[in-house]
Structure 1
């Protein structure tokens, strides 16, 4: 199979879909890897690294898309890239379709087979291709939140860890999954007073057992969430419904109860965000003010640490990429129901129910799509 990897063109996106190590593995399996010139530079991989791995380099994204049977990326294809997709081509990348009707319509119209990293599952109920970036984003959230809290950036001027005689900042993490756990761990490590809210008693027991009171946990009732939002210096939104739009957990009205200059970090912004006032921003212009509350809503947070993120993502995606290339997408998905869960679009059909529910579109079951 011919596997193509273009340079990412989303603003301030420095990751790359295929590392030189992954390219070498694919070539060893008998496949051709076609890289766009400069695709890996943002992650610290130069063209010579890919040539040494056996990849072929071409000048333009148009050449990559025209040549490849499967496109491997990091971020969802932008509008100009979606026009390059063709009938029968495989797209393997993050998609986040639920809050993005334009992309969904374009992918359906393309006739391509689109497999989303974020909905591939594993036998433990996890999301193995989302987890590495959730870990990165979770660990980044307190770091960027601390920066947002600085007075020069419009924040309260509060130091997360405080100093002797001055209390630390109160950090509220909504959601105790992968993002929330890593965010709480880092925020607590920075000396903050951290509480994680979740609705799973099992998850809260796990967090308490593993972290031994390093941070507190609480049940995420609407009333409890509202009370703690009002008390917090920083609120980190870390709630995920796989493949679906994120639930809106904090309303604009509730902003009036928050401390002036408090910071919101919405890690769920890729799925639409979990604050009513969230809108996607970029690393170039990451924060904005709504009613005196500072919002950090960068939609590709892991892109800020592109090398770490690319290596972590590549470790996770490589086995699936090779399965798709070695077997073809139909046999690979038939052999692995967890990979089949990643199928979002095929042959002009939407195949992921949570996206159909979010956008009001008809859905074809992925098992049916295997027979199309």
Structure 2
């Protein structure tokens, strides 16, 4: 198979979808790998390293899309890329379709095959290609939240862990999945007073067992959320419904009861956000203020630490990429249900229910293409 790796062009996105080590593995399997010039620079990988691994370097993004049968990316294509995508071309990347209708409609129109990292799912319901970036984002959420609690950046002027004789900050985490768990560990390690909410009692029992003493658990419901955010210094939104839009757990009216200079970090913003007032921001302009509450809503948080993020992501994606390249997407998805669940849009049809429901679009069973 001919595999293309374009340079990411989303604002401040420095990750790359394939490392030189990954290129070498694909080459060993008999595949051809084309990498756009300087695609790996932001993550610390040079064109020379890709060449040494057996990849070929192409000068621009159009050349990569033109020649490749499978495109490997990190973030969803942006508008300038839509016209470059060919009919029947396989795109293997994060899409988060349910949060952005124009992207969905563009991929339907170009009749490409869209296999989304975020909906590849194991039998135990875990999301192996979302986990690495969720781990990064959960830890970063606390780093960023602590930073924006500083007075010069608009925050209350409170140190997350406090000092002897001064109480630490109160951190509320909505969601006890991978993001929430990593955020809780990070906040607890910095000495904060942490409360984590989730809908699952078994999950809360697990978290109660493994978390340090400064982390408490609570059932997630509107009453508890409203009560907790009144005293919260930092609130982290870490809710995920695979392939679907995140529910709004904090609504606009709730901001009025929050402390002036408190901080909201919505990690779910690339799935529409679990905080109603959040809208996607960039690393260039990461925050805005509503009702004296600082909102941090960067949609590609792991892009700020591209070396760590690229290695973590490609460790997870490469085995799946090899299956797709070796067998072709239809055979690979027929034989591996995890990959099958990653298919979102195929040749003009929406084949993932969460995406169809988000925009009231017709839903087609993916089995139509795997028979």
TM-score by length of 2: 0.99
Unaligned segments of structure 1, at least 5 residues: none
Matched, 1:121 2:134: no
Post-superposition offset of 1:211: 2.1
Check whether the contact 2:42–2:306 (CA below 8 A) recurs between aligned residues: yes
Partner of 2:71: 71
Match of 2:155 in 1: 155
- The Cα of 1:238 is off from its aligned counterpart by 0.1
Q: How many residues align?
A: 371
Shift of residue 98 of structure 1? 0.2
Matched, 1:267 2:251: no
Runs (5+) with no aligned partner, structure 2: none
Question: Residue in 2 aligned with 1:31?
Answer: 31
CA shift for structure 1 position 123: 2.4
* Alpha-carbon separation, structure 2, partners of 1:125 and 1:247: 19
Aligned to 2:195: 195
Partner of 1:284: 284
Report the TM-score when normalising by structure 1: 0.99
- Cα-to-partner distance string for 1:24-78 (whole Å, 9 max, x where unaligned): 0000000000000000000000001100100000000000000000000000001
Aligned partners of 1:136 and 1:74: how far apart in 2?
A: 14
Cα-to-partner distance string for 1:152-181 (whole Å, 9 max, x where unaligned)? 111101100011111000000000000000
Matched, 1:45 2:45: yes
Corresponding residue number in structure 2 for 1:109: 109
Counterpart-to-counterpart distance in 1, 2:252 and 2:9? 32
Is 1:165 the counterpart of 2:165? The answer is yes
SS state at 2:331 partner? helix
2:194 aligned with 1:215 = no
Question: What is the alpha-carbon root mean square deviation over aligned residues?
Answer: 0.7
Structure 2 matches for 1:230-309, cutoff 5 A?
Answer: 230-309=230-309
Match of 2:323 in 1: 323
Distance 1:213 1:203 in 2: 17
Structure 1 equivalent of residue 347 of structure 2: 347
Matching residue of 2:368: 368
Q: What does residue 182 of structure 1 align with?
A: 182
C-alpha distance in 2 between matches for 1:75 and 1:170: 33
CA contact (8 A) 2:330 2:369 kept: no
CA deviation after TM superposition for structure 1 residue 370, in Å: 2.2
**Quick one: distance in 1 between partners of 2:315 and 2:274?**
29
Cα shift readout 1:118-147 (whole Å, capped 9, x = no counterpart): 000112210000000000000100100011
**TM-superposed deviation, 1:212:** 4.7
How far apart are residue 368 of structure 1 and its match?
2.0
Mapped to 1, the partners of 2:83 and 2:365 lie a distance apart of: 25
**1:357 corresponds to:** 357
Deviations 1:295-327 (A, max 9, x none): 000000000100000000000000100000000
SS, match of residue 76 in structure 2: coil
SS of residue paired to 2:283? coil
8 Å contact from structure 1 (residues 195, 215) kept in 2: yes
CA distance in 2: counterparts of 1:211 and 1:261, whole angstroms: 28
Q: Distance in 1 between matches of 2:178 and 2:322?
A: 26
CA contact 1:135–1:178 (8 Å) conserved in 2: yes
Please give the secondary structure, in 1, of the residue aligned with 2:307.
Answer: helix
